[in-house]
Structures are given as C-alpha cells and as structure tokens.
Structure 1
C-alpha cells in the first residue's frame, strides 16, 4: 500500500549522493542503468563525476526524511530540456514512479519554463514507459542509440504541458 503522504523534493546533488548512486545495484535487465565506480567517474570527470556538470545539470531526489531516493539530470539543449532519471533500485516497482517523475518534471518546468521537456527510454522498459505516460509523456520517435552493450532501440517521449 502506497502512503498517500509520500512526497519527494529536489535538492542540489551532493558529492556523497553521487558516490552513493554509483553503488546502486539494479537487477537484470535494469542493470544497464548502473554507473561505473565513483573513483573512476571522478578520475574521468564524466557525468556527475565532474563537479561543474553535477552542479549545473544534476539534482538529487530526496524523501521527507532527507533520504536519497533518486536523481535527475536536466540536460539543456536548444529549446528542450532532456531528462535523465534514476530511482533507487529498492524503490523501483513500488508504485512511486508517478510521484517521483512528477517531482522531476516540476523542477524542469521551474528551471526551464520556456523549454519543451523530453526523455529517452529503451523500448523494452515498459515499466518506465507506463510511468512516463501516466505523467503526461507521449512517444514521438523511435531510434537506435549506442549503449554499453551495443546499439539498442529507444523511444523519445515528450511531455505535454
């Protein structure tokens, strides 16, 4: 049973959050969403391992007790902000996705009020696709992208304000 008082909020991504996210262990097939070790991300200066990029594009999603529940990347492009979304593996499949994604969408709307909001999702990830559709996203395109395991099909989904 989902507690209707469950709420998430967005906060700047702290270094400790970034390090913790690198330790999350997703079960297959979702393990493709895992990150390399924190020390490696820092050494390479990629994604939230780069302090400037982490500050400019990444946010932590916390619950009411201040516990890290996930993260989002708000990647600005020309007229579009692309969302990258990650929920703590222990919370996935618990019915919290809509509240979680709605929180991220609201943060994107505040930060980029004039931008379209979109995201990419692997076509096999029906759990995420259903959540995104409940939040107002629509599939607008299908294409292949390079992943750590080769080219895979993706949907682009656009938020309907």
Structure 2
C-alpha cells in the first residue's frame, strides 16, 4: 500500500469555516472549534485573517479534499505544532503519516529550528501516532487550557 500524499497550502477562509463544523466523538469532542461566526467575531486563532495567513495551513489529500490543518507557531529556536485531522479520518491508522508530513513541512519552513508539540497525556491514540511519526517525549507538565488545567507531554520531532 502506498503512503498517502498530502498537499499543504495556506488555509483559505472556506477551509477555516469547514474546520469549525467538524464534530469529534467522545472523548475528543473538546478539540472542536467554536462556530466560524464566533471565531471571526472574536478574532480567535484562524478566525483572524492575519494569524491564519502567518500560522495556519490546510492539509489536503491527493484529490485536494480537506483532511486536516496545522499550525506552525514559531518561538525562539522552536516551532510548536498544532494539528487536527477531519474526524472521519481519525482512528484509522493514518495519524503518523499525517503528523510526519506536517513536521517535515515545519522543518522545510524553519530550517534548524527544533520542532515540537504538546499532547494531553490521556490522548494515547495521538501519542502513539506521534511516536510512530518520529516524535519523542521529552517532558511532562501541567498547563492551562480552555478546559482548565491539563497534563501534557512535550514531544520533539527527531526526523
């Protein structure tokens, strides 16, 4: 079986609005975004055109169908990744290839930067996918999120 091919390009407003419609099953429902109207009204994340342009990309399959998104958040010497797959694509074994494609794109965009991500410790499905993609857990800590205080792993991409 061939590995999936992903195309990564700037996130359009229509892709952003579509992502706001995605609904994940329990226990992943916390990863849903607010409505597109709420996102644009508040200027939150990709609801702000400038943040969307600088940090967000759409991930499409070989047929140009939207299958996910990524955020490249640059910090001093580090690019922190955020990512999400369309709900019907989750849990089917494609997460590692998806995460690896995003990490490789981050490396291309930010040569020499460390590439990392945070994942909540309970999300073993994502942790396994990230490990298969080449990420290694380097730290565990608590931080504030929209759901309150959460425990996370920091995982660094090693190629």
Instruction: State how far apart, in whole Å, the 1-side matches of 2:66 and 2:93 are.
Output: 17
Q: In the alignment, which residue of structure 2 is the partner of 1:106? A: 104
**Matched position secondary structure for 1:134:** helix
Instruction: State how far apart, in whole Å, the 2-side matches of 1:5 and 1:84 are.
Output: 22
Q: TM-score, normalised by structure 2?
A: 0.97
**Matched position secondary structure for 1:90:** helix
Q: In the alignment, which residue of structure 1 is the partner of 2:141? A: 143
Instruction: State how far apart, in whole Å, the 2-side matches of 1:40 and 1:148 are.
Output: 15
Q: In the alignment, which residue of structure 2 is the partner of 1:128? A: 126
Number of equivalenced pairs: 159
Deviation at 1:5, TM superposition (A): 4.9
User: Deviations along 1:60-104, whole A, 9 cap, x unmatched?
Assistant: 000011100000000000000000010000000111112111110
Identify if the C-alpha distance between structure 1 residues 82 and 5 changes in structure 2 by more than 3 Å, giving closer, same or farther.
closer
Contact 1:9–1:103 (Cα < 8 Å) also in 2:
no
Q: In the alignment, which residue of structure 2 is the partner of 1:118? A: 116
Q: In the alignment, which residue of structure 2 is the partner of 1:70? A: 68
Unaligned runs of 5+ in 2: none
Contact 1:142–1:156 (Cα < 8 Å) also in 2:
yes
Identify if the C-alpha distance between structure 1 residues 134 and 154 changes in structure 2 by more than 3 Å, giving closer, same or farther.
same
**Matched position secondary structure for 2:57:** strand
Q: CA RMSD in A?
A: 1.0
Q: In the alignment, which residue of structure 2 is the partner of 1:10? A: 8
Q: TM-score, normalised by structure 1?
A: 0.95
Deviation at 1:8, TM superposition (A): 1.1
Unaligned runs of 5+ in 1: none
Instruction: State how far apart, in whole Å, the 2-side matches of 1:125 and 1:94 are.
Output: 15
User: Deviations along 1:140-160, whole A, 9 cap, x unmatched?
Assistant: 111112222211100000111
Q: In the alignment, which residue of structure 2 is the partner of 1:33? A: 31
